[in-house]
Structure 1
Amino acid sequence: MSPSTSTQATRESSRVALVTCGLFPSLWDDDHPLRDALLAKGVAVDAVRWDDPAADWASYQAVVLRSPWDYVPRRAEFVAWAHSVPGLLNPAAVVEWNTDKRYLHELAEAGAPVTPTTYVSPGETWQPPSGGEWVVKPTISAGSQDTGRYALPSQLELAEAHVARLTSLGRTAMIQPYLSAVDTAGETALLYFADPSSGTLTFSHAARKGPMLTGPDEGKIDPGSEDITARSASPAELETAERVLAAIPERFRDLLYARVDVIPGPDGVPLLVELELTEPSLFLRTSPAAALRLAEAIRTRL
């Protein structure tokens, strides 16, 4: 068998699992372009629930986290599962670090421009600011679950009750100023994929996310309710994203993808809201070539 024939046979026999959950057994819609791009490259693709007891993870050459969005109440189980899976992308150590938003403190200490954040752990008390608009949410969440926006002092009791509710359940609350620019400029998601030749994260595309928080926490915000459109990233947004990526601890640098979410701060400088390394929507439909770029990055890992 010639080298070229051998390579083609390897590609055609390669199998990739795109990890989802019971809510989306056939994958979240945004991941269909990735599935199709992998199939076009001769890679077999299965959509597999992360908690499927029948899944044979070792049979896959790569296991790519996509939409396992029901993990939040079972994070410890999810992290343990991640450590048990060979070939997981992004790796299990990244999953453990990135699924608790206290990672923002580590990034801030490393010099990344992070939205100012206060953390309130169980047993601690919160000293509310005297005024302004603030966002309260748990450090472990997905899809804006258990997240609310409060105007102080008029909604002080509601904000305090939200923090108390989270901490009484053993969760850590985080409080951030509401960045009002999201109401006009929106939030920018900057997507980075591993370069097939070097493996380093390279900018792929950007998307605009419209505002979602209109008031106090009223329960789960359903996936797909965001207003997503294509966007050209500004030089300032790209600079902030590069500073964030540079602040990622060295032990977590072997990444397939990253999503950097930024909003202009009071002075107009983009601030990091979240760094998504575990299960972010990648907004592949906003950029026609994005799915092909990610599929090629995955194929080089096989």
Structure 2
Amino acid sequence: MFQTGRVILATSTVGLDKDVDLPLMVDALRARGVDAAAVRWDAADYDWSACERVIIRSTWDYADRLDEYLSWVDRVSAVTRLHNPAEVVRWSSDKRYLQDLADQGVPTAPTTFIAPGDDVALPANGQFVVKPTVSAGARGAARYTGDQVALAARHVRSLNAAGATAMVQPYLSRIAEGERALVFLGGSFSHATRKGPVLTDIGVVDNARVAHPDLVGHQPSAAEIELATAALRVAPSRDEVRVARVDVALADDGSPVVMELELIEPNLFLTHNPAGLRSFADMVQGL
């Protein structure tokens, strides 16, 4: 006998196929008497108003259908409680939020944004990364060296021609030490994972690459937790951010910087952290 109203974990076709955490989440909630199920966000004629809550989980195709997706977010928000809220989803769907973090004094990877019609100015020295501001899983991203500026410029122009804003960041020399993923559930730090470098090839856009290679558990430093917490404070409706992942890397001097916030559909790596799965179920029950 279920003890609560229906809780839907919103996913996608690719999420149903690839999200290994999803069945664990559903089972953990149902074991606690929660009427939980996973449903595609674009399921035809699904009655979202019949749900007590909708928690966005693995809607991993949102970047390819952003306008349609944000319309869905607004519709669901109008008829039930959505986590994270629509304001948070809209803000974090475009990585230009990194400028908001920088403006508030949060250390971030230095980022230049090149919108359609802007001049294309790229670093002449050192390695750097070009990617679209709306993307997931490192899609559309490539790493370049200083002697590949012409190739990188073509990448930027191709993104602009498709209506996208490009972003350019230095390729951090210490990324080989791993990018840290700090997970927050219900506003509190839950667990962390570290992954290996993603952009191992140079001058190549490879959308089939593994987005989270060589995962291992990670014990974050106090500085990393402090940085992640400061970044989350900048988000709109910050007290309503229930599920979050802050991706952090080390700058050349060893200090942590924010690479990006994952406030829409972050992979939480729960198969690598049973305590994190319990924290997720606790969070949902406490909503």
**Does structure 1 residue 256 correspond to structure 2 residue 242?**
yes
The residue type paired with residue 61 of structure 1 is E
Q: CA deviation at 1:248?
A: 2.6
Given that 2:88 and 2:235 are in contact with CA atoms closer than 8 Å, whether structure 1 keeps it comes out as: no
Count of residues paired in the alignment? 283
1:178-217, aligned counterparts within 5 Å? 178-183=171-176, 185-194=177-186, 201-214=187-200, 215-217=202-204
Partner of 1:84: 75
Moved more, 122-131 or 266-275: 122-131
Q: For the residues of structure 2 that align with 1:222 and 1:46, how far apart are their CA atoms?
A: 30
- Unaligned runs of 5+ residues in structure 2 are none
Given that 1:26 and 1:47 are in contact with CA atoms closer than 8 Å, whether structure 2 keeps it comes out as: no
Partner of 1:218: 205
Q: CA deviation at 1:13?
A: 4.3
Given that 1:34 and 1:292 are in contact with CA atoms closer than 8 Å, whether structure 2 keeps it comes out as: no
What is the aligned counterpart of 1:96 among 87, 90, 110?
90
The residue type paired with residue 247 of structure 1 is V
The residue type paired with residue 156 of structure 2 is V
1:1-302, aligned counterparts within 5 Å? 12-25=3-16, 28-85=19-76, 86-152=80-146, 154-183=147-176, 185-194=177-186, 201-214=187-200, 215-221=202-208, 226-249=213-236, 251-301=237-287
Q: For the residues of structure 2 that align with 1:22 and 1:135, how far apart are their CA atoms?
A: 29
The residue type paired with residue 257 of structure 1 is V
Given that 1:206 and 1:230 are in contact with CA atoms closer than 8 Å, whether structure 2 keeps it comes out as: yes
Identity of aligned residues (%): 42
**What SS is found at the alignment partner of 1:12?**
coil
Q: CA deviation at 1:224?
A: 6.1
Q: For the residues of structure 1 that align with 2:209 and 2:57, how far apart are their CA atoms?
A: 16
Given that 2:138 and 2:211 are in contact with CA atoms closer than 8 Å, whether structure 1 keeps it comes out as: no
Q: For the residues of structure 1 that align with 2:3 and 2:211, how far apart are their CA atoms?
A: 33
For residues 110-166 of structure 1, give each alpha carbon's deviation from its aligned partner in whole angstroms, at most 9, with x where no partner exists. Answer: 1111111000000111211220110100000011100000011x2112111110110
Aligned in 2, Cα 1:132/1:261: closer, same or farther, shift over 3 Å? same
Q: For the residues of structure 2 that align with 1:111 and 1:188, how far apart are their CA atoms?
A: 20
For residues 6-39 of structure 1, give each alpha carbon's deviation from its aligned partner in whole angstroms, at most 9, with x where no partner exists. Answer: xxx7x52421111111123367102332222101
Q: For the residues of structure 2 that align with 1:156 and 1:35, how far apart are their CA atoms?
A: 47
Aligned in 2, Cα 1:225/1:294: closer, same or farther, shift over 3 Å? closer
Moved more, 36-45 or 221-230: 221-230
Given that 2:184 and 2:245 are in contact with CA atoms closer than 8 Å, whether structure 1 keeps it comes out as: yes
Q: CA deviation at 1:92?
A: 1.0
Given that 1:83 and 1:93 are in contact with CA atoms closer than 8 Å, whether structure 2 keeps it comes out as: no
Q: Cα RMSD between the aligned structures?
A: 1.6
The residue type paired with residue 273 of structure 2 is S
Moved more, 117-126 or 234-243: 234-243
Q: CA deviation at 1:178?
A: 0.6
TM-score normalised to the size of structure 1? 0.89
Q: For the residues of structure 1 that align with 2:22 and 2:220, how far apart are their CA atoms?
A: 22
**What SS is found at the alignment partner of 2:240?**
coil
Q: For the residues of structure 1 that align with 2:171 and 2:209, how far apart are their CA atoms?
A: 21
**What SS is found at the alignment partner of 2:13?**
coil
Aligned in 2, Cα 1:260/1:178: closer, same or farther, shift over 3 Å? same
**What SS is found at the alignment partner of 1:19?**
strand
Q: For the residues of structure 2 that align with 1:45 and 1:187, how far apart are their CA atoms?
A: 32
Q: CA deviation at 1:225?
A: 5.3
**What SS is found at the alignment partner of 1:271?**
strand
Partner of 1:197: none
Q: For the residues of structure 2 that align with 1:218 and 1:109, how far apart are their CA atoms?
A: 30
- Unaligned runs of 5+ residues in structure 1 are 1-8, 195-200
Q: CA deviation at 1:216?
A: 2.3
Q: For the residues of structure 1 that align with 2:204 and 2:70, how far apart are their CA atoms?
A: 27
